[in-house]
Amino acid sequence: MIKQTVYCLLFIFLAAGCTEKVDVKLDDTYTRLVVDGNIETDTGAYSVTLTRSANYFYNEPAQKVVNAILELTNGDTTFILHETEEGKSGVYNTDSTFSGTIGKTYTLTISLPEVIGGTDTYTSSCALRQVAHLDSIKAIFHPDWGKEGFWTVKLWAQEPGDETNYYLFNLYRNGKLLTDTINKKVISDDAFYNGSYMNGVDAVYLNHAHKWETIFPGDTITLQMSGITKEYHGFIAQVQQAGFTIPFFSGPPANVQGNISDGGIGFFAAFSNSYASTIVPNFSK
């Protein structure tokens, strides 16, 4: 069952006419290193962004961490990430020929030019998990859901089974990413489909009243289904509950558990991808 989507939650909250208070512990003790990055199985240049956490109680921009040395290894090969604008950007890229390998665990080592949060060296490791192969997708309009109606994007795929799998979904409209912040990402596990064929499972809900984040007849939409780790699934769920975005422009909640060593904040993720596309059909309200 698809459990995490902003659009679905918004619909439920509006219908219920109530809000839930989330008790988030905030940390105002010292500056932390914030890491935001990922690698994927598609060939391309992947980025890791380094910043310092800003004080939560002040509207301060995040300070870039420049001139760091980043190395990535899968146990067999070591890759060097290069700063896009040396000494300026705080964004470090792999080569454009890079692609991740399913079954490998990738370890990122960050060597800083100065101490942040008590150390100048941080590490992060993430396994690259398998993903179900998408056979097809379909967009269906529900005119009686809400004021303007909702779209659901359904998928057809064979779930691998054997163990619990965790998934991340992104949606593109005419080549542009709609789920462009972490609060719009959709995550799921395979609790109801482990090893079974996913026959028309709802993947994404879109509120047609929000014109900037919906789809229209004639659009080409592409669903990206990614195999992720349990830890990354939990990280996204925590950040969505806390209402934060990434990169963090203020100090994030101290109780959001990432995978950065020595008190660092954020997540370095590795995941595999499968894609399917379709043209949005005409509908009548």
Write out pLDDT tens, residues 120-161.
Answer: 999 999 999 999 999 999 999 999 888 889 999 999 999 988
Q: Which amino acid is at 15?
A: A
Q: How confident is the model at residue 56 (pLDDT cuts 50, 70, 90)?
A: low
| 144 contacts: CB under 8 Å, gap ≥ 6 | none
Q: How confident is the model at residue 163 (pLDDT cuts 50, 70, 90)?
A: confident
β-bridge mates for residue 265, sequence order: 34
Q: What angle do CA 52, 53, 54 make, to 5 degrees?
A: 115
Cα separation, 217 vs 283, whole angstroms: 7
pLDDT at 66 over 70: yes
pLDDT value of residue 209: 85
Q: How confident is the model at residue 60 (pLDDT cuts 50, 70, 90)?
A: low
Q: What angle do CA 52, 247, 54 make, to 5 degrees?
A: 35
Per-residue model confidence as pLDDT tens digits over 238-250: 999 887 665 554 4
pLDDT value of residue 168: 98
pLDDT at 25 over 50: no
Most confidently modeled of 25-39, 53-67, 175-189, 250-264? 175-189
pLDDT value of residue 7: 42
Residue % of the chain over a pLDDT of 70: 82
Average pLDDT over residues 203-232: 93
pLDDT value of residue 40: 98
pLDDT at 6 over 90: no
- Contact (Cβ atoms closer than 8 angstroms) between residue 198 and residue 222: no
| 37 contacts: CB under 8 Å, gap ≥ 6 | 46, 47, 48, 49, 92, 108, 268, 269
Q: What is the mean pLDDT of the chain?
A: 86
**Phi, psi at 258, each rounded to 5°:** -100, -160
pLDDT at 199 over 50: yes
Q: How many residues does the chain have?
A: 285
pLDDT value of residue 14: 34
User: In order of start, what are the domains of the chain with their CATH numbers?
Assistant: 2-16+130-233+274-279 (2.60.40), 33-128+240-271 (2.60.40)
Average pLDDT over residues 28-55: 89
Strand duo 91-93 + 176-177: pairing: unpaired
pLDDT value of residue 210: 85
- Contact (Cβ atoms closer than 8 angstroms) between residue 241 and residue 18: no
pLDDT value of residue 11: 35
- The residue among 11 and 115 whose pLDDT is bigger is 115
Q: How confident is the model at residue 17 (pLDDT cuts 50, 70, 90)?
A: very low
pTM of the model: 0.84
Cα R_g (the chain), whole angstroms: 20
- Contact (Cβ atoms closer than 8 angstroms) between residue 242 and residue 10: no
Q: Which of 19-28, 50-59, 218-227 has the lowest mean pLDDT?
A: 19-28
Per-residue model confidence as pLDDT tens digits over 76-120: 999 999 999 999 999 999 999 999 999 999 999 999 999 999 999
